[in-house]
Chains A and B, each alone.
Chain A
Amino acid sequence: MLIIKDLHFGYPRKPLLLENINLELRQGHIYGLLGKNGAGKSTLLKNMIGLADPAKGSCQYNAAPVKGRPVKVLEDIYFIAEELYVPSLTPTQFVANTACFYPKFSQPDFYHYLDVLAVDRNGIMDRQSFGQQKKAMIAFGLATHTDLLLMDEPTNGLDIPSKVQFRKLIASVQTEERCIVISTHQVRDLDSLIDTLLVLHDRQIVVNLSLDDVVERLHFGVYPDTSEMPVLYEEETIRGKAAILANTTGEFSKADVELLFNAIISGNPTLLILLKDIRHEKNI
């Protein structure tokens, strides 16, 4: 679906932000894109939709180059940016002027999503709160039914009930044809939603694994005492020590994505080698 090959990107007169990025996004998956502040997550998403041109390498969507933002590509990718622009129109008026550019847009679905997210379809959008604006644009983005949906920090500004509704909505709209990429800091909001983890660290994709593959090789748990255990990484929590160990018993645990992310960016060498091995095995 979307293939990035040997991509290098840096803003003018600034050091490289992305280096040697190789990535393939497949239909039917929800990718969680994680990284520290300034790691380049938003920039990577912009490269995927042609808002940024790489210094080297390529990005292709269904074999068509994304560079130059061809109409055929834009019709099938929708990007919900972290900072949204909404016009001074109601959602109904906005849809009347904008939906026609997306061939697969569904108006009944749009209004259904607005209702689920509790957005007033007759309220002037730029006069609503940031959270309401975000929800309106999420509803619009989902209703375009593009095969690739890119979301940059979609839960920023949403209240807790809205985050719950958002998770339920994303889970319900996911199909075998669709690919969703969610860039986020708030891992806990979305760890039950994503099935593939992408971690961007030090200008590169250091992890590109399905969570199923991760829990097949790693075990996550909270223990009162880990002194006798072959812990790969651990953190002190209120409930005890949250730890990552190698999965030697074959028992599956629930992946603690936030713990795993912290372990990766801490530069834990053993863990990183293990994750690289998993990736290598899966690629073979």
Chain B
Amino acid sequence: MKKIFNPARFGKLFIKHTTEHYKGYLMALAVLIGVMMLGGSFLVYMIDAPLDQSTQSGLFLVILLTAGTIYTSTIFADLGEKKKAIAYLTLPASHFEKYLVAWLYSFLVFLVIYAISFYLVALFLLNVRHVSGQAEGVINLLQKQPLQMCLIYAFLHAIAFWGAIYFNKLHFIKTAFVFFIFLGLLILFNKIVLTAMIDRNVDAAPPFGNLRFPDGGRQVDITLPDARDNPTLTFLVVGLTLVIWIAAYFRLKEKQV
């Protein structure tokens, strides 16, 4: 077991990674907070819109997915440069320990830091100017909806994480490209399957989405229950996330220079 995971060695690796990267991370955090402040100030001062819970939720999700996937795509950037890759891969620590440090930083540490930053920025913006109609405070990040957003982030994180290891350069762009190609193919496949199942020409839609098809002169729209409350979909997302994380680990193990 100690070949795969040694707590003391893992701790040293975590400290080494922190020491070598903390300056960059602090700068990135300052930029993230700056962007949230700028965007939030624009909403509060220019548009004069109340920062209600649904607006905050939307902003929380968009910034989380954007910033999180961009950051995750850089976590293995060292592997794209030969000299850095040699230093990284020949360091006497197991692949699992190296993987875990990267995963912890790009997923858990990022989520916690981001949530705290978002909370503080939202709190500041809600108190710096009182907009008429502003009845609600900062969203509770421990409620069901923000937690579901974290699940969506986990799925996209897994994809970005795998791409960060698989590609040597332009990790974010290449991973996003592959993801959108795959999504397009999935939608097309879904359309073909549904058309075959109900023997009608259905509109293109993602799996587990609504079913729309023309019937006579009208458009029929069959709406499924809210996807967020669909346990099958949740199970599928969790399962896929775990599979992609595991695939990323084996990709790291096989990495050559």
| Chain A residues packing against B (C-beta within 8 Å) | 46, 49, 51-53, 68-72, 74-75, 77-79, 81, 83-85, 87-89, 93, 97-98, 100-102
Is B9 interfacial (CB 8 A cutoff)? yes
Q: Chain A residues near B91 (CB, 8 Å)?
A: 74, 98, 101
Query: In chain B, what residue has the closest Cβ to A137?
Result: B87
Closest to B17 in A: A97
For residue B93, which residues in chain A have a CB less than 8 angstroms away from its CB? 71, 74, 101
Complex A-B, nearest 8 residue pairs according to Cβ-Cβ distance, in ascending order: A74-B92, A85-B83, A97-B16, A75-B92, A83-B83, A101-B92, A85-B87, A51-B257
Q: Check A81 against B86 for contact (C-beta < 8 Å).
A: yes
Q: Is the CB of B94 within 8 A of A87?
A: no
- Distance, CA A165 to CA B20, complexed state (A): 30
A93 to B254, CA, bound (A): 31
Contact B86 A85 (CB under 8 A): yes
Task: Indicate if the CB atoms of A85 and B84 lie closer than 8 Å.
Answer: yes
Q: Which residue of B lies closest to A53 (CB)?
A: B256
Known: A85-B84, A89-B20, A100-B12. A69 touches B90 (CB 8 A): yes
Q: What are 6 A-to-B residue pairs whose CB atoms are below 8 Å? A: A46-B257, A69-B89, A74-B92, A85-B86, A89-B19, A97-B20
Residues in A with CB closer than 8 Å to B9 are: 71, 101
Q: Give complex CA distance A243, B254 in Å.
A: 48
Q: Is the CB of A52 within 8 A of B256?
A: yes
- The residue that A71 contacts in the complex, of B82, B83, B94, B253, with Cβ under 8 A, is B94
Interface size on B, residues (CB 8 A): 27
Tell whether B104 is near chain A: CB-to-CB under 8 Å: no
CA separation between A89 and B15, bound complex, in Å? 14
What sequence of 0s and 1s flags, for each residue 9-25 of chain B, a beta carbon within 8 Å of any chain A beta carbon? 10011011001100100
Chain A residues closer than 8 Å to B253, beta-carbon distance: 68
Tell me, rounded to whole Å, the shortest Cβ–Cβ distance linking B7 to chain A.
14
Chain A nearest Cβ from B85, distance in angstroms: 8
- Whether B95 sits at the interface, judged by CB under 8 Å, is yes
Query: Using a CB–CB distance below 8 Å, which chain B residues touch chain A?
Result: 3, 6, 9, 12-13, 15-16, 19-20, 23, 81-84, 86-87, 89-95, 253-254, 256-257
Residue of B nearest to A97 (CB): B16
Other 13 A-B pairs with CB < 8 A, given A71-B3, A71-B9:
A46-B256, A51-B90, A51-B256, A69-B89, A75-B92, A79-B90, A81-B83, A81-B86, A83-B83, A85-B83, A85-B86, A85-B87, A101-B9
Please report the C-alpha to C-alpha distance between residue A105 and residue B90 in the assembled complex, in whole angstroms. Answer: 16
* A residues in contact with B20, CB < 8 Å: 87-89, 97
Q: Evaluate contact between A98 and B90: CB separation under 8 angstroms.
A: no
**Are B12's CB and A101's CB within 8 A?**
yes
Q: Is the CB of B90 within 8 A of A52?
A: no
Chain B residues within an 8 Å CB radius of A89: 19-20
A residues within 8 A CB of B84? 85
Q: Determine which of B15, B23, B86, B94 lies in contact with A97 in the assembled complex, contact meaning CB atoms within 8 Å.
A: B15
- Chain A residues with CB under 8 Å of B94's CB are 71
Indicate if the CB atoms of B92 and A102 lie closer than 8 Å: yes
A101 to B253, CA, bound (A): 19
